[in-house]
Chain A
Amino acid sequence: MEVHQFRPSLPPPRMSVGVVGWLRSNLFSNWFNTLLTLLAIYLVWLIVPPLLKWAVFEADWVGTTRADCTGEGACWVFIKERFSQFMYGFYPAELRWRVDLTVWLAVIGAAPLFVSAMPRKALYGAAFLVIYPLLAFWLLHGGFLGLTEVETSQWGGLMLTLVIAAVGIAGALPLGIVLALGRRSKMPAIRVICVTFIEFWRGVPLITVLFMSSVMLPLFLPEGLSFDKLLRALIGVILFQSAYIAEVVRGGLQAIPKGQYEAAAAMGLGYWRMMGLVILPQALKLVIPGIVNTFIALFKDTSLVIIIGLFDLLNSIKQATTDPAWLGMATEGYVFAALVFWIFCFGMSRYSMRLERKLDTGHKR
């Protein structure tokens, strides 16, 4: 018996598969898209080659002084020569191992928190959060238990940026949560205090807060008594950012259905256990993007300490450009600063995305 053989199906038209097909359907599907594509290509052609030429092909990489920068492009020698100053500021060179150790301790100490299977993770996390800041302060500042003191006026560079950001985050988050709970409290006194606090700090610009802390505060204190400048700035940053965190967290609290509160109450849980076990875990999970957003803004805002003469990464770079031996290196310096800030902010945002995916249990479709 003759079996009917279907003819093999023809391949799709050559113009609709592969690279050409993708290009046709995505970039040149109609005259308008074609126009936009061509325009974009023109812009890229306009921007990228000169940029690469400046930053890579005609840039100077080797040498030790400005005289070694003979090319037309960027002078990365400047960054190379000043790199340690951009990282540590004026921290004494022979004591910089303490800064390194502090960073390594943070990395090693926090690593177990990222292991899902680790037992007693909450306990370990709490212990880490209590012990590490004390240890970090001892290592960075010293002055007791056998370490030489390094005054905060000698701190600087990326290290100072990270200190301000880390202390700001570690201080603002708990304070912000407390404020958010306080704002939703049924006790009028607490509610009024929290609302006033939040609205005050949200209503003033950070630059004003820093300026007040460094210029006005000393005038109100008795002569000779002066607070550490960094400490004043840190307190300002914490108070300021906690108000923002509080509002973000409040958004999360309001998104929790009333049933959850009632169910928790029906289980016989008191206020703190209701919040701690039922409401906050759900609410904080909801507002991770908002909180990380605030943290990224905080990280970038640390560069405002430039106006009170603290030498964070940006100000260290700015100061290095005033060295007569390196005048005219501002562009290289600012590009480098932008790169470092971008790396950290991008890292934070990737981590927050990971965290969201991991914790996204209730609303997954």
Chain B
Amino acid sequence: MSLSEKKQEIIEDFSMLEEWMDKYSYLIDLGRNLDDYPQELKTEDRLIKGCQSRVWLNCELKDGALFFTADSDAIITKGIIALLISVYSGRPREEIAADDFLWIEEIGLKENLSPTRAGGLVSMIETIKRMASPSS
């Protein structure tokens, strides 16, 4: 599935979930189904700053593509990072670097989180962008 198809799929999924409780259930499921994250990768340098709960993000470059794995001690936060990973992991670095991340605005995630949680989401996005930038 192409990047734009994947984004469209998520936008459609979210538009079908009217109640916020349903959106949380969706995120909780995503969080539960995220691949196991190795304990030894829970290091200080993989912690995303600015999140209220702890979020670790690991990134590996293989054949020009970025592969992300992550974990969090809070399940909804884990669901949010899982959502980002489902869109971006395995994509070419240049494609991620060039992306506008606007689909996140479209699903209304940010404005429905508390300011501290929204700040955490912004930090997650910034971290992915930084990992994809040519200088990193």
A binds B: no
Residues of B within 8 A of A (CB): none
Residues of A within 8 A of B (CB): none
